[in-house]
Structures are given as structure tokens and as C-alpha cells.
Structure 1
Amino acid sequence: MDAIDILVNEHRHIERVMDVLERAVEYGRGGGDVSPVLFERAAHFLVTFVDGSHDAKEGEVFQALTSRGLPPGEGVLAALSGQHALGRELAAELRAAVRAVTEGILVPEELYAIAERYVRLHRGHTEAEEVRFFPLVRRLLPADVMERVRAKFARIEAAHGPLADAADALELAFPLPVPTGRRPGHVRPPPWVGR
């Protein structure tokens, strides 16, 4: 598994957390009781594992590309970096909104709107990376550089723990009904299947 395979695999695990957020928003808007703790734990996941680990790994890829002459302040690197920054802002907003909802200052709808914005951002960002950016990386970075980047990933993950395990924990801690419109009797496989 090369560095890009690792990032794509992490996208699948992050997507599971996006699904939890999406189901929580839909369930809450439908009148269900969704604990603000779910959103707090999701915000923690976004800060610690998406920004602190996954985006840091992508930062190593960015650095490898800029060291080979790709300009960091324009084009795809600038756009993706901007999306990373927006993701950090939204995660901080989500965390602040959780506190405000808990204190009765904000209505849950405000929390749902922030969570929804994050999910949309992440899904668009993931598509941009997987369709346009990762193929570019594979064309521009030779195998020896990719291996050095992958070695840096291991150090980043050692500092934060496995992203997949954190996604498992969040998904298992907050089981929510499958939203309407999905096939009846739909049962998601356990999160560890297909790792």
C-alpha cells in the first residue's frame, strides 16, 4: 500500500463518520433525540484525526510536491489547502455550537447546519483529491519519494493513533436508525469489515 492508498483508505473511514453526522442531522430534524455528545465526539474526531492526522499526512504529500517544483500558492495545492483551513474552522464552529446548544444558547438546528456544511465540504474535497489530485501525485512523485512520504505517515499516525479505530469507536458509540428512503432491513456491515 503506497501513501496515496493510505489516504484513500482513510477517506473511506472518514466517510463513515460523515455518514454518522448525516444520519444524526436527519434524525434530529425528524424529531429524534440526538445527544450533543455525538457532535462533540465528531468534532473531536475532525480536529484530532482529520486535521491532526489525515490532513497532516496530506501536508507531507504537498511538501513533497513543492520540493519538486509545484508552486504551493496556486492551483490545486492552494485550493486543497484552503479547504483544509475551512474544515478546521467548521470543526471549531461545531465544537462551539455543541457548547452553545448544551447551554441553551443555540437551537440544535444551528448545530445541524454546521455539521451539514462540514459533510458537504468533506465530500467535495474527497472527490477533488481522488479524481484530480491523487492521480497528479502518482504521476509526479517517484516511488522512492512516495516511500519516504509513507514513512512520515507512520510517525504522524503514531502521534494520534489509528484513524480507522477512532472512526469505529464513534460509529459504534452512536448507532442511529437508517434514514428513510434507504432499503428496509438495510444492515450496515460492522465497521471493521473490509479494512
Structure 2
Amino acid sequence: MDALDVLSQEHRQIQHVLDVLAQAVERGRQGEFVSASLFLRAANFFRTYVDGSHHAKEMVLFQTMLVHRLPLLPGLLSQVTGEHGAGSEQALTLQHAAEATLREGADPTPMLDAAEAYLQLQRGHTAAEETQVFPLARRLLPAAVLERMRTRFARIEASHGPLGEAVEALERAFAPVRPLWPGMTGSVRSF
């Protein structure tokens, strides 16, 4: 697994969190109770793991592409790095909206709106990287360069912890509670 495989795998893991969050937003829009503390956990995940770890790794890739003078479409790296900044701001907005909903027991609409805005941005952002940035890097960066990048990725991950473990914890937190069987009072988390 090279550095680009690591980034693509992380995209799949992040996408899984986005899918779970989208389901929670949909339930909230349908009038079901959604826990603001879970949205707060999602915002913390986005700020810690997506911004702090995954985007830091992507910045290593982007800097490497610039150093090696890869023929990029004009503005492509500016676009994706700008989206990193916008994602950071939207994750912070989600955090504040979830905190307000928790603290005040207020209408969850601003929290749901913030989550939807984050979802929309991230889905487009990931598609641009997967279809434009990563294929170019894979074609033109030597294997030795990709291996050095992977070493740098390991140092970044060591400071944040494994993204995969954070995804699993968040998924468990968002899993709906359902009865074991009809008429039973206990419940289990479903996956």
C-alpha cells in the first residue's frame, strides 16, 4: 500500500462517516429525535481526524506534486486546499450548532443545516481528489517518492491516532438503538 492508497482508504472511511451522518440528518429532518451530542462527536471527528490528520497528509502530497512540477490543471490545488479551509470552517460551524442545541435544547435545524453543508462540500471535494489529483500523482510520482510520503504520513497519524479506529467509534455512537425482538424491553446497538 503506497501513500495514495492510504489517502484513498481514508476517503472511504471518511465517506462512511459522512453516510452515517447523512442518515442522522435525514432522521432529524423527518422529525425524529437526533442527539446533538452525536453531531458534536462528528464535528470533533472532522476537526481532529479529517482536518488534523487526513488533510495534513494531503498537504504532503500537494507539496510533493509542486516540488516535482507535476502538470496540474490551473487552480486545481488552490481549489482543493481552499476546500480544506472551507471544511474546517464548516466543521467548526457544526460544532457550535451542536453545542447550542445541547446547551439550550433549541431547534436542531441549524445543526442539521451545518451538517448538510459539510456533507455537500466533502463529497465534491473527495470526488475532485479521486478523479483528478490522485490519478495524476500515481502516474507521475516515482515509487520511492510515494514511499517517503508514506513515512511522513505515519508521523502525522501518530500524533492523532488511527483514523479507522475513530471511524468505528463514531459509527457505534451513531448506530440506532432497536429492540432485540418485539416486546422485549432491552435494546442493542445495531450496525
What is the TM-score with the length of structure 2 in the denominator? 0.88
Q: Using the alignment, how far apart are the partners of 1:9 and 1:126 within structure 2?
A: 12
Match of 1:80 in 2: 80
2:57–2:156: 8 Å Cα contact kept in structure 1? yes
Residue of structure 2 in register with 1:16 after alignment: 16
Name which structure has the greater RCO, CA cutoff 8 Å, separation 6+: 1
Give yes or no for contact 1:23–1:176 (8 Å, CA) kept in 2: no
What is the deviation of 1:106?
Answer: 5.0
Distance in 1 between residues matched to 2:25 and 2:146, nearest whole Å: 38
Paired residues of 1:98 and 1:111 also in contact (CA < 8 A): yes
- Counterpart in 2 of 1:59? 59
Return the letter of the residue paired with 2:67. S
Identical aligned residues as a percent: 51
Residue type at the aligned position of 1:90: Q
For the pair shown, the structure with the greater C-alpha radius of gyration is 2
In 2, Cα distance between equivalents of 1:61 and 1:15? 20
Give the CA deviation at 1:20.
1.5
Moved over 3 A (4+): none
Task: Name the aligned partner's letter for residue 39 of structure 2.
Answer: F
Give the distance between the partners of 2:134 and 2:25, measured in 1 at CA: 31
Aligned to 2:101: 101
Matches of 1:88 and 1:105, distance apart in 2: 25
CA contact (8 A) 1:20 1:176 kept: no
Letter in 1 for 2:14: I
Q: Which amino acid aligns with 1:54?
A: H
**Contact 2:40 / 2:94 at 8 angstroms: preserved in 1?**
yes
Which whole-Å CA distance do the structure 1 matches of 2:65 and 2:133 have between them? 11
Judge conservation of contact 1:97–1:106 (CA < 8 Å) in 2.
no
Corresponding residue of 1:41? 41
The CA distance in 2 between the partners of 1:142 and 1:106, in whole Å, is 53
Does 1:3 find its partner at 2:3?
A: yes
RMSD: 1.9
Q: What per-residue deviation string (whole Å, max 9, x for no partner) do you get for residues 143-175 of structure 1? A: 111111010000011111110110000001121
Moved more, 106-115 or 148-157: 106-115
Match of 2:184 in 1: none
Matched AA of 1:58: E
Instruction: Report the alpha carbon displacement of residue 131 of structure 1 after superposing the two structures with TM.
Output: 0.8
Structural mapping, 1:34-183, within 5 Å: 34-70=34-70, 75-104=75-104, 107-176=107-176
Contact persistence 2:70–2:140 (CA under 8 A): no
The runs of 5 or more residues in structure 1 that have no matched partner are 178-188, 191-195
1:106 & 1:169 partners in 2: Cα distance? 26
Cross-structure match for 1:26 = 26
Asked if the contact 2:37–2:102 (Cα under 8 Å) also holds between the matched residues in 1, the reply is no
- Secondary structure at the aligned position of 2:104 is classed as coil
Q: Distance in 1 between matches of 2:71 and 2:138?
A: 17
